[in-house]
Structure 1
Amino acid sequence: AVNFALQHLVSTGKLDLNKNISHYLSDFNDHPEDDVKGKNRLRVIDLLHHHAGFPASWNYYDPKAAGHLYSQSRSKTLEYLVKTPLSYEPGTKQIYSDIDYMLLGLIIEKVTNERLDTFVENQFYRPLGLRHTLFNPLQKGFKPPHFAATERKGNTRDGTILFPNIRTYTLQGEVHDEKAFYSMEGVSGHAGLFSTVDDAAVLLQVMLNGGGYGKQHLFSRSVISQFTEPSKTNPTYGLGWRLNGNTDMEWMFGKHASNKAYGHTGWTGTVTIIDPVYQIGIVLLTNKKHSPVINPKENPNQFEGDAFATGKYGSVITAIYEALHHQ
């Protein structure tokens, strides 16, 4: 959702990746109490490269973890996003951060003057005829049985985690991610989009086609090249997209993807691969987190499904390439 929106806005000249974040978010600045400073120098592109200095996550929804940035209200969370402190000197590391994409979602909302879900659903998904790609599907006519479950006992990690308003029922059709659900009303730059393999295949084909599908033109081929160019500091990072830049990415891309392949994973058990050399798009949607937690007290985020072949991704992707090679 966010990358398609950004690629569209860059293609139409409505957003400049090299402008400071503060150009779009006026309240984005350092505070005297911040241990690490440098927000005034950060650009939009730094968020996309995941070297802006933000921690991997910030649990806004949990008062014990979030402190003065505790929020279970979307409007309040958007205020707190720009106040979230940096955790390391910008540019010195490359750490995937949900905060980066939450901020990018907010920038899109500021530029378009629309909420993220409204913008992408009206601008991309409906014109492409994608009826199953949307945020908050239970509010838009779908029912829980239409969806794969994503955790057995809500967000409790088999009963070991507790915070205000935590869900304890099996999750179906609600975004699993806690920040997105409790703090962002289901609509966030880092999580919340639902889809199907058929719909996702169209979105991957848009990238393979150079930015269009049928009569719909979303963004330019040159912008795709810009977003899939390797970072100077890490060849496995593009702008948002992960790249098959070296053997470190075999766990995701398998053994046979070209060095031009790119894509991304999702925490609940999803991966997309786009390989322009072979003109192939792969969508693997699993619900590996809908399984028992292996050792809840030691590592509440390690589920039995993570050890499944499907949950490890790479072996499945490898098998697809090998099947194609043998045709």
Structure 2
Amino acid sequence: MEDFSDQINDLIINSIPEVSTLISAGIMKDGEIKYLGFHGGIPELNIYNCDKMLFDLASVTKVAVTSMLVMKLLDAGRIALEDNLKSLGMDIDNISGLTIRSLITHTSGIIGNFPLHLYGRSKSDYLRIISILARDSVMYKKEVYSDINYILLGFVLENIYGKPLDLIAEQELFRPLSLKNTFFNPMNHEMTAPTEIDAARGLIHGTVHDEKAYGLGGVAGHAGLFSNVNDILNYFNAFINYKIISRRTFDLMVKPQNEYLGGIFANGWMVKLPRKRHVSESFGYSYFMGDYSDYYTIGHTGFTGTSVCIDYKNKIIAVLLTNRVYPSRSNDSILRFRRLFHNTVFKNLLT
């Protein structure tokens, strides 16, 4: 029988370049590396994958940075989830009454997606537009996955700490864990995976792919983080071993919050849950975790082709980093590939 590493290697190698030109993966169980692989290349750019390759994590930023910092503040007693934005220094029409809980669980009632970057390129511009978008929002009625929720959380964190989000993340999260390859706005563009060839921006290489984060200078609560497989594995291994937040706060962070809405979100994380008769519009987002992972496995995906999937009860972490949007975001083969990848991981490690 083909061993576990060979199964993962074969799956990845046979998926290049159809799924992505570059695919890095790492799998850990009980703190032990079970698989590390760095495959693919872009010969026309003289780029070949290796262990140092940095990937644009896109929305994985939400759980790696933003919700993690929120829970650290909660852990320290500096905020409560029911605190509203006005109490945290953001007294803005239609936004001030929104709570941290409504933002972190995607129940703020704010529209799911809106091209903020087309209407401004600053924090004040974004807040002005969000104030308009939030005019008719009602909290806790629906689960609607929205970048805007996490853009606002990023602004809240900057208000509380009095410094930019990238500096907060470095000081509070990455430096204490000695992570050397996790940051916003990487300096070494040569060691980053290119993303899209964009009509307006040209080849996006070393700068954030997400347009809304790009409009904020590459640093935002919903996207912008870059990292490699080794750092991400070590980071989330520290997380599940209560080295970032306490066990009590960890349990709260991963506990489903929106089941009354047929939803899947905990405090930041997507959670694999049994399907109910009535489900939220975002319920299917958890399908990437596959068929063999246990219920209550947590995870998150990123638009660029990244994902993290964690069975914290069995201490399994699966990290998949790709640049599936190169050369075009129209390639959606990653949707099927993620499920195949996680099926292979959990079928082998749980059975």
Q: TM-score range by the shorter chain?
A: 0.7 to 0.9
CA deviations 1:273-302 (Å, max 9, x no partner) are: 111122111110011111446xxxxxxxxx
More strand by proportion, 1 or 2?
2
Tell me if 1:22 matches 2:96: no
What amino acid maps onto 1:223 in structure 2?
T
User: Given that residues 84 and 97 in structure 2 are in contact (C-alpha distance below 8 angstroms), is that contact kept between their aligned partners in structure 1?
Assistant: yes
Q: How does 1:83-122 map to 2 (within 5 A)?
A: 83-86=132-135, 88-122=137-171
Q: Secondary structure at the match of 1:101?
A: helix
Tell me if 1:265 matches 2:301: yes
Per the alignment, residue 275 of structure 1 pairs with 311
Per the alignment, residue 171 of structure 1 pairs with 204
User: Given that residues 52 and 91 in structure 1 are in contact (C-alpha distance below 8 angstroms), is that contact kept between their aligned partners in structure 2?
Assistant: yes
What amino acid maps onto 2:177 in structure 1?
L
Q: CA deviation at 1:76?
A: 3.6
CA deviations 1:66-114 (Å, max 9, x no partner) are: xxxx212345435554454346533222110010000001111111111
Per the alignment, residue 51 of structure 1 pairs with 107
Q: CA deviation at 1:325?
A: 4.3
In structure 1, C-alpha distance between the alignment counterparts of 2:326 and 2:147, rounded to whole Å: 21
What amino acid maps onto 1:150 in structure 2?
T
Q: How does 1:241-260 map to 2 (within 5 A)?
A: 241-247=269-275, 248=284, 251-260=287-296
Q: Normalising by the residue count of structure 2, what TM-score does the alignment of the two structures yield? A: 0.74
In structure 1, C-alpha distance between the alignment counterparts of 2:347 and 2:184, rounded to whole Å: 35
Q: How does 1:177-326 map to 2 (within 5 A)?
A: 177-182=210-215, 184-210=216-242, 212=243, 218-231=244-257, 232-247=260-275, 248=284, 251-292=287-328, 303-304=330-331, 306-308=332-334, 312-325=337-350
Q: Secondary structure at the match of 2:179?
A: coil
In structure 2, C-alpha distance between the alignment counterparts of 1:267 and 1:256, rounded to whole Å: 23
User: Given that residues 289 and 343 in structure 2 are in contact (C-alpha distance below 8 angstroms), is that contact kept between their aligned partners in structure 1?
Assistant: yes
In structure 2, C-alpha distance between the alignment counterparts of 1:43 and 1:223, rounded to whole Å: 18
User: Given that residues 305 and 334 in structure 2 are in contact (C-alpha distance below 8 angstroms), is that contact kept between their aligned partners in structure 1?
Assistant: no
Q: Secondary structure at the match of 1:274?
A: strand
In structure 2, C-alpha distance between the alignment counterparts of 1:13 and 1:82, rounded to whole Å: 28
In structure 2, C-alpha distance between the alignment counterparts of 1:128 and 1:79, rounded to whole Å: 37
In structure 1, C-alpha distance between the alignment counterparts of 2:340 and 2:186, rounded to whole Å: 31
Closer, same or farther: CA 103–292 of 1 in aligned 2, 3 Å: closer
In structure 2, C-alpha distance between the alignment counterparts of 1:246 and 1:179, rounded to whole Å: 33
Closer, same or farther: CA 9–92 of 1 in aligned 2, 3 Å: same
User: Given that residues 271 and 285 in structure 1 are in contact (C-alpha distance below 8 angstroms), is that contact kept between their aligned partners in structure 2?
Assistant: yes
Matched residues, number: 277
Q: Normalising by the residue count of structure 1, what TM-score does the alignment of the two structures yield? A: 0.79
Q: Secondary structure at the match of 1:236?
A: coil
Q: Which has the higher contact order (CA 8 A, sep 6+)?
A: 2
In structure 2, C-alpha distance between the alignment counterparts of 1:86 and 1:255, rounded to whole Å: 40
In structure 2, C-alpha distance between the alignment counterparts of 1:245 and 1:129, rounded to whole Å: 34
In structure 2, C-alpha distance between the alignment counterparts of 1:29 and 1:3, rounded to whole Å: 24
Tell me if 1:8 matches 2:72: yes
What amino acid maps onto 2:226 in structure 1?
F
Q: How does 1:32-51 map to 2 (within 5 A)?
A: 39=95, 41-51=97-107
In structure 2, C-alpha distance between the alignment counterparts of 1:201 and 1:122, rounded to whole Å: 19
Unaligned runs of 5+ in 2: 1-64, 276-283
User: Given that residues 186 and 192 in structure 1 are in contact (C-alpha distance below 8 angstroms), is that contact kept between their aligned partners in structure 2?
Assistant: yes
In structure 2, C-alpha distance between the alignment counterparts of 1:26 and 1:88, rounded to whole Å: 17
User: Given that residues 53 and 90 in structure 1 are in contact (C-alpha distance below 8 angstroms), is that contact kept between their aligned partners in structure 2?
Assistant: yes
Per the alignment, residue 299 of structure 1 pairs with none
Closer, same or farther: CA 126–133 of 1 in aligned 2, 3 Å: same
Q: Secondary structure at the match of 2:102?
A: helix
Q: Secondary structure at the match of 1:313?
A: helix
Q: Secondary structure at the match of 1:323?
A: helix
Q: Secondary structure at the match of 2:176?
A: coil
User: Given that residues 230 and 238 in structure 1 are in contact (C-alpha distance below 8 angstroms), is that contact kept between their aligned partners in structure 2?
Assistant: yes
In structure 1, C-alpha distance between the alignment counterparts of 2:103 and 2:152, rounded to whole Å: 8
Closer, same or farther: CA 285–86 of 1 in aligned 2, 3 Å: farther
Q: Secondary structure at the match of 1:273?
A: strand
Q: CA deviation at 1:125?
A: 0.6
